[in-house]
Chains A and B, each alone.
Chain A
Amino acid sequence: MNASRSTANDFVCEAREHLALVEAGLLAAECGQDIAAQIDRCFRGMHSLKGGAGLLGLRNIRLVANRAENLLDALRAGTIPVSTDCLESLLVACDRLGSLIDDLAGSDDADIAATLARLDQCLQTAAPLAMRLSLDLATLEDTTDRVTGFFRRLIELAEVASPRVALSAIDVAAPFARPELRYEVDLLALGTPALIAERLGVAETCLVVPDMPAGAGPQPIAGRAPCPPSPLVLRSYDLALDLRRLADRGVASFFQELVAACRVERVELRIEDPAIEQGLPRGAVLYSARLETTLSTAELAARLGLAESDFRALDEPPPYGDAPAARAAAAEASAAAVESQTRPASASPPVSSAPPVAPSAAGAPPVARSTAAGLPSATVTPASTTAAPSAAGSPALSVAARAVPAAAPVGLPAAPAESPSTAKASSAVFAETDRSGSVRIQVELLDRLMNLAGELLQTRNELASSRQAQDPELAGALQRLRMVSSEMQNTILLARMQPVGNLFLKFPRLVRNVAKQLGKQIELEVQGTEVELDKSVIEMLSDPLTHIIRNGCDHGIEAPEERARRGKPTTGKVTLRARHEGRRIAIEICDDGRGIDMHGVRRKALALGLRSEVELDHMDRRELMELILLPGFTTTTAVTELSGRGVGMDVVKTNIERLGGSLSLSSTPGEGTVVLLHVPLTLAIIPCLLATIDNGWYAIPQKDVEEIVYLHGEQIDERLEVAFDQEFTRLRGQLLPLVRLQDVFAHPQPLSGSDRRAIIARHHGLDVAAAAQRAASGSRAAGSQRTASGSRAAGSRAAAAVAEQPAPRAAPVAARELFCVVVRGEHERYGMIVDHVHATEEIVVKPMHRVLRGLGCFAGATILGDGGVALILNTVGIAKHAGLAMADPRTQPLALEGRDRQEQQTVLVFKAGPQERFVVPLHDLRRVERISADRIDRVGDREFVTLDAGVLPIVRLDQSLPVSAIEPSDEYVVLLPVWHLRPYAILATAVVDSIFGAVSVDTDGIHADGLVGSTQILGEFALVLDVFRVESQLPKWTPPALPGPESKLRRVLLVEDTQFFRQVVRHHLESAGYRVTTVEHGAAALVVLERETFDLVISDIEMPVMDGWTLAQEIRRRYPERKFRMLALTTLHREEDRAKSLASGFDRHEVKLDPQRLLDAAAALLETRHERR
């Protein structure tokens, strides 16, 4: 293999795509969907694959692909019936090709004999059959069309040789005798005599296979010696001819004769001395071609009127099978020929019928040429069996493929042809992509781009922290830089996205195989193939999905007889559906099989000792079902080849969870099972909670965090309990083991019991026995105290919902405050004690260094906004290290919270307007923050809040919902929901409480876009928000250019009594990036000025209470240092008014209202002020 690595990589990617399409096409053909079109597509895919392999010199791949292509060609031409056996052979060939492509370097050493033999076997059934046709043309002569039609069909169907026509001798004495016009011809055709006869529209008896007993056919015509029977073998000749020799007899008639007598390939036309400026070429016009015919050299020469020496017989006729390949090769030649001289095209009718392919030959590199799919110009003679089907559709395809040689989208079909929600597997699979707009990019390259974007962001941060950054102009630029670089990161992430359809492609085959093996009839329906996921997620989903689908087919779908007995359609159905759900993707795998047998699960769990009888009695359906997800569980009594080997759903679940996803099961006995997966869109960026431990920064993946408990002062003593060598706290009546991360990190070896006791002794300052005793009494007290608390939230949960501002860190031992992050490990929940929790951030995950593999406590590292590196915690590994993880679930007590999690959830109750209460599930929120009113920036009619250096648009619920408006206040609460496309904040006035429990939502009473419904909570009526709908109602604008941090905005006090002008002027100022406060008269302005500072005061003159001149005088009197500029904006336009304004202390007097003039004036005033400073 001498090709460069990148070419080889391109080939591999492309070849896999071709294989996937071929495979899907074969499966669709097997189902009987539009067989001809499917086979045609398969043929083109296989052809391209072969071309690429040939180019790279991959002999074995080319051989297998070539043979498969031949078979497909035969199927396409209808010369072999499309049989299951053929399709099966082709699928096997696809598999073999797949394995060869996987190991490109070793492919030429692989043994492909079996695969080739199998394909050959299929092809042999298609070996052309020699036949002799003998019929009376008189039987055809009813209409002229019948005769011409007959001959046309004849040429299409078979290679024709040695035609003979004879008029039989008739008895002239007999009246009205008709002479017999007997036509006899030797045929070489693919198919049975019956098939050929039927296609020709003649009686089957007219066709004789030579070695059939003579006499079955008509007698040879008397009076004429039959031609020596041609040995019906295709022979190849090279023809080289100067067309000028044909000048007198006519080129057209020669070519007509030529195409009738032979199959013509590798046509080439050479014109010597093409000096166009000297007029038309006069030199030799050399025509050369490869001919295939059954005729002998002499016959051929005689028929074409040429000398025998014009033909050169080729020793070895190419096997039938190589024909398409040869044709493709000929394509280039003919393309070149057509390009160099279009005149012969008219001389040679078949060539002229081909579309001009000149552009392809002109600029395309060789790769493109040889991989281009079935070329129409390849077959010059219409007698060829393959000409007709491909001529119509392929020119566009081949030209397109040439235009962008190495092009392939990062993902496969970007948009399926049909409506995505209903697209069946086959149609989605075949959504052929317009590849012209895409390029293939290496993931590494994207990763590097991602790094660079991060670097850009960091450079900005460095810049921002320098002193010059205080300059407002620079601040604006920095803000934009920040937005651009994060937008860049997002875009790069998008480039990593691939449609999940790429993954789904392989499942039709899987289902088919499984169905076949099990003797079931199963149909797979695929929906949502267009949903896009990060490449790495797609890769990691492959195995779990395979397992689930296989399980569904094996355990779920019943045998046809059983289905019939139950009154179901005999064909079972498995549905694979992907859809967006917030920032996650939901993938649903449904089958309409027998469902999960609860009694079976119960019996099995008991038999395996996974759960005790008492435990099982207390489980509801869903909990029982989830037992299936435990290691070692299988319900089928018989272990089949496919599933039921005990390595099952637990592995699937673990893998999905490793992805940061979740898996849930539901099933209705007799009706089917639904497996629902939720996976994140991407692995590369995950939301994390940042925490500090010992001044080091750590990131805890948000998916692992359930809540945060904040303890301070005496609470710490009250709530921390010690049992033996483990610290606990009580959370809603449940014991929650605690892990002190500081100590975990201090011990390189997993903590032993004595380590843990030592840690406890250090933190509690007493010996373990006493601690345990204290804990025992403490827990009793705590237990009785909390029995009545029910579903009401404890104070700690409010702390979880509202991020507290971290206080200065105290020494760990004497800590009077304590942050406990409640996380989920593999099987258990526990609390991580950290020094502080900070914001939630979307971080870019980088793997740990290669030599640090095996550090269980860390899942990776990330670069923070300030350029520091933080380690990402692995909650499962930490639990193990701390000695918490009880690996064997059999010994683990039933997870008590499991039941709670099913139907109950934590919701946040909050108020926005004065009238309503709102409810939002806590898991829909990223965080909740209290902000003071002045942190809301207004730009135009939009509001923003800057949090964590990000600018978030603010949503007021009364804007989209029929609810009361928020009353102005000094302090607000903003809710930051989990977002899908862009982050935003919901403005609220107060958090009422967070409630844990079952919330029953009434979806009928109230309908509004953005609401799920209503509920009764805390004894009051509340509206349940649908944050995703709220997000979807966000206006489709991007943040304006200058919504920078409020301190960087110029602040303007607008004093104006007319409401109309107040709004108009304000709007203009805000659009220009000023922060505007409005008051209605001079007196109010003075009040505001006492509280806040401004860069500019713009005031009307004629106002109630205190007019503008008085205001100006008063301002200048009170603030002699002239900290701000003043502009009079009035309808008074006389010169004396202007003079009076300036005398009063205004810096400028402008007449209402030319907006641009106003803005210019304001800018000019602020500019001079700036310079003065």
Chain B
Amino acid sequence: MSDGERLVCTFRIAGRLFGIDVLAIRGITADRRYTPIPHTPPAVIGYTNLRGEIILAIDLAQMLGLPVAAAVNPHAQLILLRPSVGEACGLLVDEVYDVAPVSADRVDATRALESSELLEDRPWVVPQALVAGIGMLPQGLVVLLDPAQVLLQLERIRSL
């Protein structure tokens, strides 16, 4: 990996390709039981017990304004964030692919998702805040997310 590249963990949500810098990731886990937490935004899936630690699971599809599957996806995976990025927090995605290098000069930070307008009835949909840029991979475009924004945005939404 050259200086201008960074490693990105790619994953799929609602049929689209997204990526997070691997340095932000503590681990990936699947097949979890979630305890719903009443009175929280829909993006909060609930608590799950990860080896004695209580982790807050967040549904990225909800925050990105993507169509939410009606049925629970049994293959859904939870990307655990490093404490410095998102304390005791995990992001639920449909499927995790592999880690790929994305060269920095191929990241376009100016482009955002097409459905980026703030939805008044769904204030938790904040794609523009989460998207760090668009990267190029051999297999196509990948939307790079800024995981540190997830908890920040959630906190902001709750204070609205």
* A852 and B40 form a contact (CB under 8 A): yes
Report B89 CB to chain A, min CB distance, Å: 8
A696-B35, A745-B38, A861-B47 in contact; A851/B155 too (CB < 8 A)?
yes
Report B25 CB to chain A, min CB distance, Å: 19
Q: How far is the CA of A867 from the CA of B54 in the complex (A)?
A: 10
Report B39 CB to chain A, min CB distance, Å: 5
Q: Decide if A855 is an interface residue (CB 8 Å cutoff).
A: yes
* B56 and A696 form a contact (CB under 8 A): no
* B54 and A746 form a contact (CB under 8 A): no
> B-facing mask of A669-696, CB < 8 A → 1, else 0?
0000000000000000000000000001
Choose from B33, B37, B38 the contact partner of A868 (Cβ within 8 Å): B33
Q: How far is the CA of A458 from the CA of B54 in the complex (A)?
A: 13
* A852 and B54 form a contact (CB under 8 A): no
Q: How far is the CA of A854 from the CA of B53 in the complex (A)?
A: 21
* A745 and B39 form a contact (CB under 8 A): yes
Q: Across the interface, which residues of B come within 8 angstroms of A696, CB to CB?
A: 35-36
Choose from A744, A851, A861 the contact partner of B154 (Cβ within 8 Å): A851
* A869 and B54 form a contact (CB under 8 A): yes
* B47 and A857 form a contact (CB under 8 A): no
Q: Across the interface, which residues of A come within 8 angstroms of B138, CB to CB?
A: none
Q: Across the interface, which residues of B come within 8 angstroms of A863, CB to CB?
A: 49, 52, 54
Q: Decide if A849 is an interface residue (CB 8 Å cutoff).
A: yes
Q: Across the interface, which residues of A come within 8 angstroms of B51, CB to CB?
A: 451, 455, 458
* A855 and B40 form a contact (CB under 8 A): yes
User: Chain B: which residue is nearest A850 at the CB level?
Assistant: B87
Q: Decide if A984 is an interface residue (CB 8 Å cutoff).
A: no
> B-facing mask of A839-876, CB < 8 A → 1, else 0?
00000001001111011011001010001111100000
Q: Across the interface, which residues of A come within 8 angstroms of B40, CB to CB?
A: 748, 852, 855
Report A878 CB to chain B, min CB distance, Å: 11
Report B85 CB to chain A, min CB distance, Å: 13
Report A747 CB to chain B, min CB distance, Å: 8
Q: Decide if B103 is an interface residue (CB 8 Å cutoff).
A: no
Q: How far is the CA of A849 from the CA of B151 in the complex (A)?
A: 10
Report B123 CB to chain A, min CB distance, Å: 12
* B52 and A458 form a contact (CB under 8 A): yes
Q: Decide if A1094 is an interface residue (CB 8 Å cutoff).
A: no
Report A897 CB to chain B, min CB distance, Å: 29
Q: Across the interface, which residues of A come within 8 angstroms of B99, CB to CB?
A: none
A867-B49, A869-B47 in contact; A861/B38 too (CB < 8 A)?
no
Interface hits, B78-101 → A, CB 8 Å? 87-89
Interface residues on A, range: 20 to 34
Q: How far is the CA of A696 from the CA of B36 in the complex (A)?
A: 8
A455-B52, A851-B151 in contact; A867/B33 too (CB < 8 A)?
yes
Q: Across the interface, which residues of B come within 8 angstroms of A858, CB to CB?
A: 37
Q: Decide if A452 is an interface residue (CB 8 Å cutoff).
A: yes
Q: How far is the CA of A854 from the CA of B41 in the complex (A)?
A: 13
Give how many A-B residue pairs fall within 8 Å (CB-CB).
Answer: 69
A745-B39, A746-B38 in contact; A854/B56 too (CB < 8 A)?
no
Q: Decide if A697 is an interface residue (CB 8 Å cutoff).
A: yes
Q: Decide if A454 is an interface residue (CB 8 Å cutoff).
A: yes
Q: Decide if B111 is an interface residue (CB 8 Å cutoff).
A: no
Q: Decide if B106 is an interface residue (CB 8 Å cutoff).
A: no
Q: Across the interface, which residues of A come within 8 angstroms of B155, CB to CB?
A: 850-851
Choose from B35, B36, B38, B151 the contact partner of A748 (Cβ within 8 Å): B38
Q: Decide if B128 is an interface residue (CB 8 Å cutoff).
A: no
Report B47 CB to chain A, min CB distance, Å: 4
A849-B88, A851-B158, A852-B56 in contact; A868/B39 too (CB < 8 A)?
no
* A869 and B52 form a contact (CB under 8 A): no
Q: Across the interface, which residues of B come within 8 angstroms of A852, CB to CB?
A: 37, 40, 44, 56, 158
* B35 and A869 form a contact (CB under 8 A): yes
* B54 and A861 form a contact (CB under 8 A): yes
Q: How far is the CA of A744 from the CA of B53 in the complex (A)?
A: 27
Interface of A is mostly: mixed
Q: Decide if B149 is an interface residue (CB 8 Å cutoff).
A: no
Interface residues on B, range: 20 to 34
Report B86 CB to chain A, min CB distance, Å: 9
A867-B49, A869-B49 in contact; A846/B54 too (CB < 8 A)?
yes
Q: Across the interface, which residues of B come within 8 angstroms of A846, CB to CB?
A: 54
Choose from A454, A851, A854, A857 the contact partner of B38 (Cβ within 8 Å): A857
Q: How far is the CA of A849 from the CA of B47 in the complex (A)?
A: 9
Report A1018 CB to chain B, min CB distance, Å: 44
Q: How far is the CA of A767 from the CA of B49 in the complex (A)?
A: 44
A850-B87, A869-B47, A869-B49 in contact; A857/B39 too (CB < 8 A)?
yes
Q: How far is the CA of A779 from the CA of B81 in the complex (A)?
A: 56
Q: Across the interface, which residues of A come within 8 angstroms of B35, CB to CB?
A: 696-697, 861, 868-871
Choose from A744, A855, A868 the contact partner of B49 (Cβ within 8 Å): A868
Q: How far is the CA of A870 from the CA of B46 in the complex (A)?
A: 10
Q: Across the interface, which residues of A come within 8 angstroms of B37, CB to CB?
A: 852, 855, 858, 871
Q: Across the interface, which residues of A come within 8 angstroms of B39, CB to CB?
A: 745, 748, 855, 857
User: Chain A: which residue is nearest B89 at the CB level?
Assistant: A849
Q: How far is the CA of A451 from the CA of B88 in the complex (A)?
A: 14
> A-facing mask of B9-48, CB < 8 A → 1, else 0?
0000000000000000000000001011111100010111
Q: Across the interface, which residues of A come within 8 angstroms of B33, CB to CB?
A: 867-869
Q: How far is the CA of A1095 from the CA of B36 in the complex (A)?
A: 47
Q: Across the interface, which residues of A come within 8 angstroms of B56, CB to CB?
A: 849, 851-852
Q: Across the interface, which residues of A come within 8 angstroms of B54, CB to CB?
A: 846, 849, 861, 863, 869
> A-facing mask of B99-110, CB < 8 A → 1, else 0?
000000000000
Report A835 CB to chain B, min CB distance, Å: 15
Q: Across the interface, which residues of A come within 8 angstroms of B36, CB to CB?
A: 696
Q: How far is the CA of A871 from the CA of B89 in the complex (A)?
A: 17
> A-facing mask of B139-159, CB < 8 A → 1, else 0?
000000000000100110010
Q: How far is the CA of A849 from the CA of B51 in the complex (A)?
A: 17
> B-facing mask of A105-134, CB < 8 A → 1, else 0?
000000000000000000000000000000
Report B103 CB to chain A, min CB distance, Å: 34
> B-facing mask of A693-708, CB < 8 A → 1, else 0?
0001100000000000
User: Chain B: which residue is nearest A750 at the CB level?
Assistant: B39
Q: Across the interface, which residues of A come within 8 angstroms of B46, CB to CB?
A: 869
Q: How far is the CA of A116 from the CA of B91 in the complex (A)?
A: 57
Interface hits, A769-796 → B, CB 8 Å? none
Q: How far is the CA of A241 from the CA of B111 in the complex (A)?
A: 82
Report A688 CB to chain B, min CB distance, Å: 15
Report A134 CB to chain B, min CB distance, Å: 77
Interface hits, A446-462 → B, CB 8 Å? 451-452, 454-455, 458
Q: Across the interface, which residues of A come within 8 angstroms of B87, CB to CB?
A: 849-850
* A451 and B52 form a contact (CB under 8 A): yes
Q: How far is the CA of A746 from the CA of B54 in the complex (A)?
A: 23
Q: How far is the CA of A854 from the CA of B160 in the complex (A)?
A: 13
Q: Across the interface, which residues of A come within 8 angstroms of B89, CB to CB?
A: 849
Q: How far is the CA of A857 from the CA of B37 in the complex (A)?
A: 10
User: Chain B: which residue is nearest A747 at the CB level?
Assistant: B39
Q: How far is the CA of A850 from the CA of B158 in the complex (A)?
A: 12
Q: How far is the CA of A850 from the CA of B151 in the complex (A)?
A: 9
Q: How far is the CA of A852 from the CA of B58 in the complex (A)?
A: 12
Q: How far is the CA of A857 from the CA of B158 in the complex (A)?
A: 15
* A869 and B154 form a contact (CB under 8 A): no
Contacts A455-B51, A850-B151, A857-B39 aside, 8 further interface pairs with beta carbons under 8 A come to: A458-B51, A744-B38, A851-B154, A852-B37, A852-B158, A869-B49, A869-B54, A871-B47
Could you list 25 A-B pairs, sorted by A, with CB under 8 Å? Answer: A451-B53, A454-B52, A455-B51, A455-B52, A458-B49, A696-B36, A745-B38, A748-B38, A748-B40, A849-B88, A850-B151, A850-B155, A851-B151, A851-B154, A851-B158, A852-B56, A855-B37, A857-B38, A861-B47, A863-B52, A863-B54, A867-B49, A868-B49, A869-B47, A869-B48
- 10 closest Cβ pairs, A-B complex: A745-B38, A455-B52, A451-B52, A869-B35, A869-B47, A849-B56, A454-B52, A748-B39, A851-B155, A851-B154
Residues of B within 8 A of A (CB): 33, 35-40, 44, 46-49, 51-54, 56, 87-89, 151, 154-155, 158
